Structure 1
Amino acid sequence: MTGEMNILPLPQATATTPRAPAVSGELLKLLTPMEGLISAGQTAKAEVLSLKQADQAFQLLLKLTLESGRQTTLQAISNQPLAQGSSIAVTQPSAGNLAVTVQQAIAASVATLTRIDTAKMPVGTLLQGKVLTSQVLPTVPGQATVFRSMVSLLNTALSGSTLSIDSSQPLRIGTLLSAQVEDGQTLKFVPLSSRQEQLAVTQQLLSQQSRQGSLDSLLKQLQNLPASTQTSSELRTAVDRLLAGLPDIQQLSSAKGLAQALASSGAFLESKLLGGQNLAPDIKGDLLKLIGQLSSGLPASTQLSAIIAANTLAQAMPSFVRNALGMLGQVSAKPSPTGFPLPERLLQSADGEDDLEHLLRLAAAAVSRLQSHQLSSLEQSGVTPDGRLMSTWQLEIPMRNLQDIVPLQVKFQREEAPEREQPKERQEERAPKQQLWRIELAFDMEPLGPLQVQAQLIQGSLSSQLWAERAYTASLIESNLAALRQRMLAAGLNVGDLDCHLGKPPQGPQTRLEQRWVDENA
Structure 2
Amino acid sequence: MPASGAARDPQLPASTAVSARQQLDQLQLANREVALARVAEVLNRQQGAAQQLMLDVRGRSLTVQAAIGDTTLETGDWVKVMRAGNELQLMGKLAQTQEAGIARALAQRLPWQQSIEGGLARMLSALAQGTRQEPAGTTLPSAQTPQPLAPSVRQAIEQLVNRLPGTTSLATSGSATEAGLQVRQWIAESGLFAEARLAQSREPTLPDLKLALGRIITALLSQQGSGPEQFNRLTPLATPELVQAPLQFPNILTPPAPQSSAEPPTVGQMLRLLAGMLNRITVNQLHSQVLSTRTTADTPAPVSTLLLELPWVTPQNEPRIAQLRIEHENPEGDPAGKKRAASIAEWRLSLAMDLDDAGPVHFDVALRQEQISARVWAEKQSTLRQVQQELPTLRQSLSELGLEVTDLDCRRGSPQGSTTRLEHRLVDTKA
Structure 1 residue 483 and structure 2 residue 400: aligned? no
Deviation at 1:243, TM superposition (A): 0.5
| Residue of 196, 199, 205 corresponding to 1:271 | 196
Match for residue 65 of structure 2? none
Match for residue 514 of structure 1? none
| Residue of 219, 226, 244 corresponding to 1:293 | 219
User: Which range moved further: 464-473 or 263-272?
Assistant: 464-473
Distance 1:450 1:354, change over 3 A: closer
Alignment of 1:117-266 (within 5 A): 198=99, 200-224=101-125, 225=127, 226-227=129-130, 229=147, 231-252=149-170, 254-266=179-191
**SS of residue paired to 2:349:** strand
| Residue of 340, 358, 364 corresponding to 2:249 | 340
Match for residue 66 of structure 1? none
| Residue of 282, 289, 292 corresponding to 2:208 | 282
Aligned partners of 1:276 and 1:380: how far apart in 2? 28
Alignment of 1:84-95 (within 5 A): none
Deviation at 1:436, TM superposition (A): 0.6
| Residue of 273, 276, 282 corresponding to 1:371 | 282
**SS of residue paired to 1:501:** strand
Deviation at 1:249, TM superposition (A): 3.1
Q: Answer whether contact 1:298 1:357 (CA < 8 A) is retained.
A: no
Distance 1:341 1:363, change over 3 A: same
Aligned partners of 1:412 and 1:277: how far apart in 2? 28
Match for residue 426 of structure 2? none
Alignment of 1:440-451 (within 5 A): 440-451=350-361
**SS of residue paired to 2:386:** helix
Distance 1:304 1:444, change over 3 A: farther
Deviation at 1:364, TM superposition (A): 1.7
Distance 1:307 1:365, change over 3 A: farther
Aligned partners of 1:252 and 1:372: how far apart in 2? 28
Q: Deviations over 1:45-100 (max 9, x none)?
A: xxxxxxxxxxxxxxxxxxxxxxxxxxxxxxxxxxxxxxxxxxxxxxxxxxxxxxxx
Aligned partners of 1:441 and 1:241: how far apart in 2? 27
| TM-score (ref. length: structure 2) | 0.57
| Residue of 315, 321, 327 corresponding to 1:402 | 315
Deviation at 1:346, TM superposition (A): 8.6
| TM-score (ref. length: structure 1) | 0.48
Q: Answer whether contact 1:455 1:465 (CA < 8 A) is retained.
A: yes
Distance 1:213 1:309, change over 3 A: closer
Q: Deviations over 1:336-357 (max 9, x none)?
A: x943113537999xxx995322
Deviation at 1:448, TM superposition (A): 0.6
Alignment of 1:497-508 (within 5 A): 497-508=407-418
Deviation at 1:250, TM superposition (A): 3.8
Which structure 2 segments of 5+ residues have no match? Answer: 1-93, 131-145, 172-178, 238-245, 258-262, 336-341, 420-431
Deviation at 1:420, TM superposition (A): 9.1
Q: Deviations over 1:412-455 (max 9, x none)?
A: 1101014699xxxxxxxxxx994210101111011011111111
Match for residue 376 of structure 2? 466
Deviation at 1:384, TM superposition (A): 2.8
Q: Give the RMSD, CA atoms, in angstroms.
A: 3.7
Aligned partners of 1:497 and 1:346: how far apart in 2? 32
Aligned partners of 1:433 and 1:249: how far apart in 2? 39
Q: Deviations over 1:151-196 (max 9, x none)?
A: xxxxxxxx99xxxxxxxxxxxxx9x78xxxxxxxxxxxxxxxxxxx
Aligned partners of 1:345 and 1:200: how far apart in 2? 32
Aligned partners of 1:466 and 1:498: how far apart in 2? 8
**SS of residue paired to 1:480:** helix
Deviation at 1:307, TM superposition (A): 5.1
Aligned partners of 1:345 and 1:401: how far apart in 2? 15
**SS of residue paired to 1:297:** helix
Deviation at 1:502, TM superposition (A): 1.0
Q: Could you say which structure has the larger radius of gyration?
A: 1
Distance 1:354 1:463, change over 3 A: closer
Q: Deviations over 1:340-381 (max 9, x none)?
A: 113537999xxx995322222222221111112111111111
If each structure's strand is expressed as a fraction of its own residues, which one has the higher value?
1
Q: Deviations over 1:448-471 (max 9, x none)?
A: 111111111110211111111111
**SS of residue paired to 1:340:** coil
Deviation at 1:230, TM superposition (A): 5.2
Aligned partners of 1:294 and 1:383: how far apart in 2? 40
User: Which range moved further: 436-445 or 251-260?
Assistant: 251-260
Match for residue 83 of structure 1? none
Q: Deviations over 1:195-221 (max 9, x none)?
A: xxx354333323323211121222223
Q: Answer whether contact 1:217 1:362 (CA < 8 A) is retained.
A: no
**AA at the equivalent of 1:241:** Q
Aligned partners of 1:420 and 1:269: how far apart in 2? 28
Q: Answer whether contact 1:389 1:417 (CA < 8 A) is retained.
A: yes
Deviation at 1:306, TM superposition (A): 4.8
Aligned partners of 2:265 and 2:357: how far apart in 1? 34
Q: Deviations over 1:321-349 (max 9, x none)?
A: xxxxxxxxxxxxxxxx943113537999x
**SS of residue paired to 1:201:** helix
Distance 1:346 1:294, change over 3 A: farther
Q: Answer whether contact 2:249 2:418 (CA < 8 A) is retained.
A: no
Distance 1:474 1:356, change over 3 A: same
Aligned partners of 2:360 and 2:347: how far apart in 1? 24
Match for residue 390 of structure 1? 303
Deviation at 1:408, TM superposition (A): 0.7
Aligned partners of 2:233 and 2:398: how far apart in 1? 47
Distance 1:277 1:300, change over 3 A: closer
Give me the identity figure in percent. Answer: 26
If each structure's helix is expressed as a fraction of its own residues, which one has the higher value?
2
